[in-house]
């Protein structure tokens, strides 16, 4: 069994596959499905396959190379399935949130939505940036009587608040220690408009 590490690319766009070539009036674009997924590369650093949050795995027929070998990337993926295969049209990297409780920091950010899918709590964020490096993770605030309170860790890192950068992040639920199946998870995010919360089940 191959060993795979997980690499977070932050806001770097891996690639965009959609052609900008001129199209005739008879040409139509395929119906692209867009969802969060785990992307796997092979031993040569080529996109090999991806697994959606629903647990469906597709082999990529047009995999791009030049990536790290045998690595798992967390992504937002636009694709068209065909049986067990898929043609990938667009890939945007997402943050894989790690436990940052010991360095807790909750600088404000914009947030569009948060939702539970498979083994993740996913977030669509809209931080303000001037192109600098910001840091993301999660903080376990408390766990009591089957209820965990978890905050989004965000370090603005002195990046000026300039323009909005669409950002995706995923919190692996199994990384929240001390909770069981059926327990409640309250996600707290410090936003530019104050604290917002969402409730999910383990």
Tens of pLDDT, residues 53-99: 999 999 999 999 999 999 999 999 999 999 999 999 999 999 999 99
Question: Domain 5-21+28-93 classified CATH 2.40.50.500?
Answer: yes
Query: Can you tell me the distance from the alpha carbon of 79 to that of 50, in angstroms, rounded to the nearest whole number?
Result: 10
Structure tokens at 111: 């947030």
SS3 84: coil
CA distance readout (Å), 22 to 29, 88, 197 = 12, 20, 46
pLDDT, tens only, 147-188: 999 999 999 999 999 999 999 999 999 999 999 999 999 999
Q: Which residues pair with 154 in a beta bridge?
A: 106, 136
Q: What is the pLDDT of residue 28?
A: 66
SS3 52: strand
Query: Can you tell me the distance from the alpha carbon of 74 to that of 100, in angstroms, rounded to the nearest whole number?
Result: 18
Q: Which of 143, 136, 150, 148 is nearest to 105 (CA)?
A: 136
Question: Domain 95-201 classified CATH 1.10.1660.10?
Answer: no
Q: Residues of CATH 2.60.40.2370 domain(s) within the chain?
A: 95-201
pLDDT, tens only, 14-45: 444 443 334 444 566 679 999 999 999 999 99
User: pTM of the entire structure?
Assistant: 0.86
């Amino acid at each position: 069994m191959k060993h795979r590490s997980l690499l977070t690319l932050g806001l770097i766009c891996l690639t965009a596959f959609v052609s900008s070539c001129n199209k005739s009036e008879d040409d139509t674009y395929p119906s692209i499905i867009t969802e969060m997924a785990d992307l796997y590369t092979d031993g040569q650093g080529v996109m090999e396959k991806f697994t959606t949050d629903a647990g469906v795995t597709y082999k990529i027929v047009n995999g791009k190379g030049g990536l790290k070998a045998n690595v798992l990337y967390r992504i937002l993926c636009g694709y068209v399935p065909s049986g067990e295969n898929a043609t990938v049209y667009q890939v945007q990297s997402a943050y894989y949130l790690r436990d940052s409780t010991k360095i807790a920091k909750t600088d404000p950010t914009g947030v569009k939505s948060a939702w539970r899918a498979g083994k993740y709590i996913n977030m669509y964020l809209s931080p303000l940036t001037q192109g600098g490096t910001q840091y993301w993770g999660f903080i376990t605030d408390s766990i009591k009587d089957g209820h965990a309170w978890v905050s989004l860790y965000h370090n603005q890192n002195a990046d000026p608040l300039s323009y909005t950068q669409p950002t995706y992040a995923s919190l692996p639920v199994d990384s929240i220690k001390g909770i069981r199946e059926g327990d409640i998870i309250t996600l707290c995010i410090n936003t530019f408009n104050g604290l917002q919360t969402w409730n999910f089940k383990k």
